[in-house]
Structure 1
Amino acid sequence: MSRKLTVIPEQCSGCKICELVCSIRQFGVNNPKKAAIRVIVVYPHPVLRMPIVCSQCKRSTCEEVCPVGALRRDNGVVQLDKDVCISCFKCIEACPFGAIYAHEDCEFPIKCDMCGGDPECVKKCPKGALRLIPEAALGEVRRLNNVLSYTQMKEIEFYEKGEKKVIQYAEIGKEEL
């Protein structure tokens, strides 16, 4: 089953460890501006911390606008072929999420490649704000969180195989899916 890198912004502390591990894996340097993930912080009330990373869209505009076909899907992940890329940066402009980046030291766009299917950012996120979730379960987490926040519930009870189970609100979306 295909798994998708998912962001749960409510759990992000803004530590930016994901940016550090990504830049180290991608470029071998401790430079968050060279990461394929960026944590933005918005200061309305409440403060929102939101990791921005490639969504690996099924119909990706970055792939469509590339004039030389340097962006190609491989096992569900849109990959940048640096041997083909002409550094026009049209993919950066086309991404509706702003998840492809440029850096003055880098000849090519910086884009998440999912670390070959085992993303470092997911492994190192101390709060579990970044997760690999089966694509079929993506909407379920959002629906449960919306219902629980709307009703002010702190937990949900359900029966599985005849056994009563209780999930705390903070636990929804973890790897049990």
Structure 2
Amino acid sequence: MKIALNEARCSGCRTCQVICSLHNFAENNPKKAAVKITGHFPSPGHYEITICDQCGVCAAVCPAEAIIEADGIYRIDKEKCTGCSECIEVCPSNAMFRHPAEKAPIKCVSCGQCVELCQRGAIYDADAREVQ
């Protein structure tokens, strides 16, 4: 699945954040969500969606080789991760972050749960349909 964004359609409901944390951590904790919604109001008046685009820069710099690619998706091996945060520092989309309760950084693994529940199509599967 290739996750794509149409920020103009985002209403800021943050359902994507809730389902992300529930699916990946079994917690209703949007602060652990790998998708971030940032409101820019009153000006310019829109929501910004931040999510990993699976570029692989993080894997290239990981000294522990804890970020592994499989089928175009980069995942963090929590057992190998040393918590150095080098991946976070180089992420060009600022989509990786650290949560105090987790040893390894958090990033999107393209599970698709946010795509399934985004009622407005702001987050969608680019492989399944064309940009609207």
Shorter chain as denominator, the TM-score bin is over 0.9
Is the aligned partner of 1:109 residue 2:105?
A: yes
Is the aligned partner of 1:66 residue 2:59?
A: no
Equivalent residue, structure 2, for 1:130:
123
Cα distance in 2, alignment partners of residues 69 and 129 from structure 1: 33
Normalising by structure 2, what TM-score? 0.93
Cα distance in 2, alignment partners of residues 46 and 107 from structure 1: 36
Equivalent residue, structure 2, for 1:38:
36
Structure 1 residue 44: Cα displacement: 5.0
Normalising by structure 1, what TM-score? 0.70
Unaligned regions of 5+ residues in structure 2, if any? none
Equivalent residue, structure 2, for 1:165:
none
Is the aligned partner of 1:79 residue 2:75?
A: yes
The structure in which a higher percent of residues are helix is 1
Q: 1:99 aligns with which of 73, 92, 95?
A: 95
Equivalent residue, structure 2, for 1:149:
none
Aligned length: 132
Structure 1 residue 134: Cα displacement: 2.6
Q: Between Structure 1 and Structure 2, whose CA radius of gyration is higher?
A: 1
Large movers: runs of 4+ above 6 Å: none
Equivalent residue, structure 2, for 1:11:
9
Pairwise CA RMSD: 1.7
Deviation digits for residues 60-94 of structure 1 (CA, Å, limit 9, x no counterpart): 22111100111111001011111211111111111
Deviation digits for residues 12-38 of structure 1 (CA, Å, limit 9, x no counterpart): 001110000000011111111011111
Cα distance in 1, alignment partners of residues 57 and 110 from structure 2: 18
Q: 1:88 aligns with which of 75, 84, 89?
A: 84
Q: Percent identity at matched positions?
A: 36
1:94 partner letter: V
